[in-house]
């Protein structure tokens, strides 16, 4: 079984976990491949780089949700299941911890796991006039258009399948998947969307009006966001809150459903709402005294 490994070097336990993984791999029949940023943390000899893997049966991410999101972008549409091992605090998207790593690996090898297919987004920057465009790697959480530098309001035109929705005066626009509905979109006042729902959320960040509310649109819809002059300078687009690019005057962001979903490995009986209660304190009334 070919297994790729992505990790966050800022976690102190990562080096020890990589050593443990390297030791366990021969017994489990795993051939490991590593991303470059953690290659120096493996015991010698380091596994070959991900780019040399003929194909991957699974991608293991060691870190938090951010590491899993980066792993999904690394796969960029490949239908490879991701096993998220949480080394941080929340780990809403992950399914195991450093303490349950051996159990998770055994389950992986023996096929004793379930999977969740999560809708992903394909963002494209269409340059002025539409003659050129550049498609960015798929995102699992969200695509955000916002101002760079000093925080200030920006004016944006939002369209859905070519029909103008309206002009937004806000700090930015979040276009999120159901997975991303519990991330930045939630902080912007967007709804929680159960992962199995085929939908996309469009939410304004701090809208400068009381009349703007988040939208939930069909997953087959094409969402376009275009800065309106003179608010076209220093406009940035962020992908999963980790990487980004700039938009030049006249550029337009087009976001649509990716051709393939991101597949997450699930271990144990806990479902979406169990994780909501545990990780995000959903419905937690424990601080209220019984009257």
DSSP-derived 3-state class of residue 168: strand
Largest Cα–Cα separation, the chain:
66
The residue from 13, 36, 65, 270 that is catalytic is: 65
For residues 95 and 84, the answer to whether their CB atoms sit within 8 Å is: yes
DSSP states along 80-94: --EEEEE-SS--SS-
For residue 76, the 8-state DSSP code is T
Reported as half-sphere exposure (CB side, CA atoms, 13 A), residue 28 has a value of: 23
How far is 155 from 209, CA to CA, in rounded Å? 12
Nearest to 139, CA basis, from 56, 257, 275? 257
Quick one: which of 243, 232, 215, 210 has its CA closest to 140?
243
Cα 151 → chain centroid: 24
76 is catalytic: no
* DSSP label of 72: H
Enzyme catalytic residues: 65
């Amino acid at each position: 079984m070919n297994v790729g490994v992505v990790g966050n070097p800022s976690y102190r336990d990562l080096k020890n976990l990589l050593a443990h993984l390297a030791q366990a791999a021969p017994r489990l029949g795993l051939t490991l491949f590593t991303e470059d940023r953690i290659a120096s943390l493996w015991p010698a000899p380091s596994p070959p780089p991900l780019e040399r893997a003929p194909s991957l049966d699974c991608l293991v991410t060691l870190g938090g949700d951010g590491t899993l999101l980066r792993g999904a972008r690394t796969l960029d549409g490949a239908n490879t299941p991701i096993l998220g091992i949480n080394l941080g605090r929340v780990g809403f998207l992950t399914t195991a911890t450093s303490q349950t790593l051996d159990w998770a690996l055994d389950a992986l090898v023996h096929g004793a796991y379930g999977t969740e297919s999560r809708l992903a987004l394909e963002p494209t920057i269409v340059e002025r006039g539409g003659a050129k465009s550049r498609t960015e790697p798929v995102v699992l959480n969200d695509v955000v258009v916002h101002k760079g530098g000093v925080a200030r309001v920006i004016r944006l035109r939002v369209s859905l399948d070519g029909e103008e929705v309206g002009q937004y005066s806000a700090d930015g626009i979040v276009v999120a998947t159901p997975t991303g509905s519990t991330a930045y979109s939630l902080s912007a006042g967007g709804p929680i969307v159960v992962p199995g729902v085929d939908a996309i959320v469009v939410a304004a960040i701090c809208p400068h009006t009381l009349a703007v509310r988040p939208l939930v649109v069909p997953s087959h819809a094409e969402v376009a966001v275009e800065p309106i002059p003179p608010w076209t300078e220093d406009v940035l687009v962020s992908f999963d809150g980790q990487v980004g690019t700039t938009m030049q005057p006249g550029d337009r962001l087009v976001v649509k459903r990716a051709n393939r979903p991101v597949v997450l490995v699930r271990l144990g009986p806990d479902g979406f709402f169990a994780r909501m209660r545990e990780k995000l304190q959903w419905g937690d009334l424990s601080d209220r005294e019984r009257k």
